[in-house]
Amino acid sequence: LPAQFDLVNEYSGLADVDAITMDMASKSHDGSLAVLVAATTILIATTSNNIVKGSLAWRFGEKKFGRSVAKGF
């Protein structure tokens, strides 16, 4: 996986994973991108998105809510 994909995926996943998922699925479907690269890209974006949302729940939610979200990870 090219290094520039890693950086883009991490930043893309911070806010939303729908766009990067659709883009990677489309590119892998038409053959312009290997399926492994597309899947890895989606995994990185989803992971960074979950970390951000979990951090927001922990920081700004009630403690009980933050703990239950942390248990989900």
Give Cα separations from 62 to 39, 69, 73 (angstroms). Answer: 34, 11, 17
pLDDT of residue 53: 86
pLDDT of residue 6: 64
Which residues have CB under 8 Å from 69's CB, separation 6+?
Answer: 54, 57, 58, 61
pLDDT of residue 35: 94
Q: Which residue stretches of the chain have pLDDT < 50? A: none
CB neighbours (10 Å) of residue 17?
Answer: 20
pTM: 0.73
pLDDT of residue 16: 80
pLDDT of residue 71: 84
Packing angle of the helix pair 18-29, 3-15 (nearest 10 deg)? 140
pLDDT of residue 3: 61
